Each structure stands twice: as structure tokens, then as C-alpha cells.
């Protein structure tokens, strides 16, 4: 499989971005109040399965085709695209849904879909194309929250929230926010203190379980929402 064909196929796998489906999980929770979280998790698993099956087929095609020739010149744009895909091929499994007055926070944990242990043929092909050493261990891993608007129609947002696993357990504990994916644009810098406190209060129990040390490390672009 030629590098450009492989990269195009993987882009198709992410064409809907798996994170876009998080609205469906919250909506599913509302639509099936008797089943609640389990119904939302079930929908999430169905969506995950379709992406995994697609990647399995690509992994098989990579194994059946000619190996990537490392002596062939590969365009810089293709190397960058392959490196980015290595980091993006992640699924955020739903663990819990926490509700506020007019918002919900989905507690999710990132799991890699392509790695030395998962779809290894595809992983090695991407490493060869990217000319990289593999995965950035600091990115994408760990628990985090996705902020969802629930007043009126359910709307996902571009807001990701997390604690710093390197910070000692407080109080005080800093809750960080950063942009992630697509969705309704929010500006937390314009939130008043009561909203920040409500969000921090909703996230606080997760400091104990699953534990602050298991959260995704804030990115360099993240900012503190509230330290309390």
C-alpha cells in the first residue's frame, strides 16, 4: 500500500472524529432514563466497534501488500500527516456522565487504537512513513472530561477539562481547560465564579476515583479554570 493511499484511508477512519459522538452518549442517557449510563456506554461501544473494524481491515491490507520502502523518498507533508495520525488514532471510552444544572461532563479515558500491541502492522507502517520513533507518551493518555451543554438541545463543545497528575492532591486542586476537537465554542474566561465553582465541584469526586494521578496531563496551551 502506497503511503498516500494508507494516509487517505486512515483519514476516512477519522472522518467522523470519534469524539464527535460524545453528544450521542449524553442524549442516549436522557432518552433511556431507565437504563441510564449503561445505555450510553452501549451506544459508545457500538460506535467504537465500527471504527475498530475499519482499522482492522486496513491493518490486514498492510500485511498483505508490499512493505513500505524506506529507501523511497517520502514527501514531508506525508511524514507530518503520518506522525499526526499516530497521535490522533485514539478512542475516548466513556466511563461516567456527571450532570450539572445546565451542563454535563463526560468522564472519558483515552485508549490508543494503533500501537505496538494494537494493529502492529499498521503502527509500524505509520512509523516508517513518519520517520519517527513512534508515539508521544505524554499526549492523549489518561482520564479527562468533555463539557456538554444540556439546556435545550444537547450540544457538545470544544472544551476539555482535566487535572494535573503531577500536582499533589489538595485541596486546593487546579482544574485545567483547553480546546479539543469540534463543537460549540465556549470561552471559559468569561464565566463567572459560580459557574467555575459548579464545574470544579462536579469534577472533584474524580480526584479520589479514578484518582488524580490517572488524569491526562494538561497541554502547554491549557489554562487553569479554577484552583479550589
Nearest to 22 by CA among 149, 191, 205, 114: 149
Average pLDDT over residues 12-29: 60
Q: What pLDDT band is residue 177 in, cutting at 50, 70 and 90?
A: very high
Pairwise pLDDT comparison (176 vs 69), residue with the higher score:
176
Q: What pLDDT band is residue 89 in, cutting at 50, 70 and 90?
A: confident
CA dist., res. 51 & res. 56, Å (int): 9
Range among 43-47, 150-154, 185-189 with highest mean pLDDT value: 185-189
CA dist., res. 135 & res. 114, Å (int): 10
- What is the reported pLDDT for 20? 46
Q: Is the pLDDT of residue 145 over 50?
A: yes
Average pLDDT over residues 47-57: 86
Q: Is the pLDDT of residue 141 over 60?
A: yes
Least confident of 22-31, 96-105, 182-191, 194-203: 22-31
| Domain residue spans of the chain | 3-227
Q: How many residues are present in the chain?
A: 228
Nearest to 112 by CA among 79, 139, 83, 132: 139
Alpha helices in 149-211 (DSSP H): 193-203
Backbone torsions φ then ψ of 176, nearest 5 degrees: -100, 155
Q: What pLDDT band is residue 218 in, cutting at 50, 70 and 90?
A: very high
Q: Is the pLDDT of residue 169 over 90?
A: yes
Average pLDDT over residues 152-172: 91
210: left (phi over 0), alpha (psi -120 to 50) or beta: alpha
Nearest to 173 by CA among 212, 202, 210, 144: 212
Q: Who's near 206: CB < 8 A, 6+ residues apart?
A: 107, 143, 145, 163, 212, 215
What 3-state class would DSSP assign to 12?
helix
Q: Enter the pTM of the model.
A: 0.78
Amino acid at each position: 500500500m502506497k503511503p498516500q493511499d494508507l494516509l487517505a484511508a486512515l483519514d476516512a477512519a477519522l472522518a467522523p472524529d470519534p469524539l464527535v459522538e460524545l453528544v450521542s452518549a449524553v442524549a442516549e442517557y436522557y432518552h433511556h432514563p431507565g437504563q441510564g449510563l449503561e445505555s450510553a456506554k452501549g451506544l459508545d461501544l457500538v460506535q467504537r466497534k465500527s471504527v475498530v473494524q475499519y482499522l482492522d481491515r486496513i491493518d490486514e491490507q498492510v500485511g498483505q501488500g508490499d512493505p513500505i520502502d524506506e529507501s523511497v523518498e517520502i514527501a514531508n507533508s506525508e511524514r507530518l500527516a503520518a506522525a499526526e495520525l499516530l497521535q490522533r488514532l485514539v478512542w475516548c471510552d466513556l466511563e461516567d456522565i456527571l450532570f450539572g444544572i445546565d451542563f454535563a461532563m463526560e468522564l472519558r479515558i483515552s485508549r490508543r487504537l494503533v500501537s505496538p500491541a494494537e494493529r502492529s502492522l499498521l503502527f509500524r507502517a505509520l512509523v516508517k512513513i513518519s520517520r519517527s520513533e513512534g508515539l508521544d507518551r505524554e499526549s492523549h493518555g489518561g482520564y479527562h472530561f468533555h463539557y456538554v451543554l444540556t439546556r435545550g438541545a444537547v450540544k457538545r463543545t470544544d472544551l476539555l477539562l482535566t487535572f494535573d497528575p503531577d500536582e499533589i492532591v489538595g485541596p486546593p486542586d487546579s482544574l485545567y481547560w483547553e480546546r479539543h476537537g469540534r463543537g460549540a465554542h465556549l470561552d471559559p474566561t468569561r464565566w463567572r465564579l459560580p459557574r467555575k465553582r459548579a464545574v470544579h465541584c462536579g469534577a472533584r469526586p474524580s480526584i479520589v476515583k479514578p484518582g488524580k494521578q490517572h488524569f491526562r496531563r494538561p497541554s502547554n496551551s491549557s489554562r487553569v479554570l479554577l484552583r479550589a
